């Protein structure tokens, strides 16, 4: 039997989309071009970071630090630059 997928209210989805985009814009980060919808759905269904359940919100302060330090956050949703994304994803 497959798990029933929860219907996410449109207003909730749009609010979180805007939060992701505002975070990326504020820090001049790049959002993974193909991972955005997948990660957004995963976050909204789980109610926390799907990569680290101890992170109750996304984006969080740890994500900003990781992007600056490592070139991307733990989930690889946010990237320091498009060049970092291409270099790390296609090496």
| 20-59: pLDDT as tens digits | 999 999 999 999 988 899 999 999 999 988 889 999 998 9
Report domain extents, the chain.
10-89
pLDDT of residue 5: 63
Backbone angles phi and psi of 36, in degrees to 5: -55, -60
pLDDT of residue 9: 86
pTM of this prediction? 0.85
């Amino acid at each position: 039997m497959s798990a029933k997928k929860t219907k996410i209210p449109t207003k909730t989805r749009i609010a979180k989309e805007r939060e992701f985009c505002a975070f990326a814009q504020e820090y001049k980060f790049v959002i993974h071009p193909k991972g955005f919808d997948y990660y957004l759905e995963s976050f909204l269904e789980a109610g926390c970071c799907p990569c680290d359940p101890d992170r109750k919100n996304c984006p969080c302060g740890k994500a900003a630090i990781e992007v600056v330090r490592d070139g991307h956050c733990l989930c690889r949703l946010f990237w320091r630059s498009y060049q970092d994304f291409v270099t790390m994803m296609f090496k």
